[in-house]
Amino acid sequence: MAVPEKEELSPDIMLAFYKRLYPFNSIFNWLNQDLVASRLFTHREFAFTLANDAYLRYQSFNNAADMKKQVLSMNPTRFEIGPVYTAKPRDRKLIRPGAFTPQLRELVFDIDMTDYDPIRTCCSGADICRRCWGFITAAVKVIDAAIRDQYGFEHLLWVYSGRRGIHLWISDTEALELTDEQRKAITNWMSVVPHGNESGKKVNVRYGARALPACLKDAVDQLKGIFAELVLEDQDCFGSEDGFEALLKLIPDSSIAAALGELWSNDPSRPSADKWDDIKKQMKKYERNSMPRTVMTNALEDIVLQYTYPRLDAEVSKRRNHLLKAPFCIHPKTGRVCVPVDPSEIDSFDPMSVPTVQQLLRELDEAGAAPANEKEHDWEKTSLKLYVDMLDKHNAGVMAQRPRGKKRGAEDDLSW
């Protein structure tokens, strides 16, 4: 299929992508956690968004082949994945009222760049660039470490959203079995910076002047270098009058805030790194370990958290019945594929280099893979292979946990 360089996403392009490139078997293995279909897949909800914006919930499939058949038939612009229910979602109308309930679901997190609009200076709204992507990079580092160290989860799949954010899917058996109350508790603990665009102090994680909890102290230590490089140097968040006035609101010592306000008003464009040093110099007028010095030290740690700690869309994580866009879908605005991301390589990940559907189809043309000769794994001939291999590696780890966890075959009853 010859694809022009800048062709819009058309139904034909989407159909060619699903038919020749979408890794249905890998998605099946990921959700099913086994090679033989079980309730983890057959009782799973999928939701389709069609080209006419119709939204079809409660789709379900018997296996990967059935899923592919239905996707090709409906040709959605995107589809989302939900929980495992007590019955097949497509049969829900046959179930008595109240008996059709969500039972299992990966623990998921959603981080969107628009939540950083109050602090990033290079872009806003739906726009992103390599510079402000640094906030997402910091978020991945902190959340990945916290989830592994504090909760002991091992099977984390990070997926680029295709435009301005990133999703995390946690597939550990214990994560799937979390209740809504447990998910809410974890999410509230992880939500250090509340959602919203309001200005002023957002971080309230201390009891009085006490030190941070150990887990947040570790995060601050991890984020200090990122704060200096990203917030002070690259974004220069305090290099404008609006920027430094927002900073002054976070300084609890009124005398220091007044002195700094006078100094910076005379030189509003003074670099952020210099303004940060000005705060530290003002702090030194107090004796080490004195209460005023401690209060200011705590305030600087809280500022680091407010500007660099992950900003979660908490509502996505709290309930099992929330749907989230499937990996390897195409973002309708950018044409980019929602690909897995290796957290250990997050520093080098560039969202602008993620392949588009048009690029992948051109790669197939260049490889001489004619539609008439299409195979199940045509993605192996394109740059998508790197990302499908990444998912398959993740799947191998997920499947290996099953002997340690609760075995779920097709005969298992989830309606406890």
- The residues annotated as belonging to the active site are 45, 110, 112
Which tokens belong to 411? 């005969």
75 CB-contact burial (10 Å; exposed 0-12 / middle 13-18 / buried 19+): middle
Using the structure block, give the residue that is written with the tokens 């794994």.
Answer: 377
Length of the chain: 416
Residue among 45, 136, 143, 26 at smallest CA distance from 88:
45
Where do the DSSP E strands lie in 113-178?
156-160, 165-170
φ/ψ (deg, to 5) at 109 = -135, 145
Asked whether 20 and 380 are in contact (CB, 8 A), the reply is: no
CB neighbours of residue 176 within 10 Å: 21
For 169, the 3-state DSSP assignment is strand
Question: What kind and span of H or E run contains 353?
Answer: none
* 283-284-288 Cα angle (round to 5): 100
Asked whether 193 and 202 are in contact (CB, 8 A), the reply is: yes
Residue among 109, 116, 205 at smallest CA distance from 151:
109
- Distance (Å, rounded) from C-alpha 15 to C-alpha 31? 23
CB neighbours of residue 211 within 10 Å: 13
Question: What kind and span of H or E run contains 358?
Answer: helix 357-366
For 107, the 3-state DSSP assignment is strand
* 111-117-123 Cα angle (round to 5): 105
The secondary structure of 290-303 as a DSSP string is: SHHHHHHHHHHHHH
| Sheet containing 165-170, strands listed edge to edge, beginning at the edge strand earlier in sequence | 107-112, 165-170, 156-160, 340-341
